[in-house]
Amino acid sequence: MISQAKKAKYQECAEAAAELERQRCWGTAAEAWEEAFYHATSPVNREWCKRRQQFCLRAPRWDQHREAA
In a domain, 33, yes or no: yes
pLDDT, position 68: 57
The parent domain of residue 32 ranges over 9-68
Domain count, the chain: 1
Look at 69 and 26; give whichever has higher pLDDT: 26
In a domain, 59, yes or no: yes
pLDDT, position 3: 87
In a domain, 3, yes or no: no
How far apart are the C-alpha atoms of 14 and 38, rounded to whole Å? 11
Mean pLDDT along residues 19-42: 97
In a domain, 2, yes or no: no
* pTM to 2 decimal places: 0.84
Crossing angle between the packed helical segments 4-22 and 43-68, to the nearest 10 degrees: 10
In a domain, 43, yes or no: yes
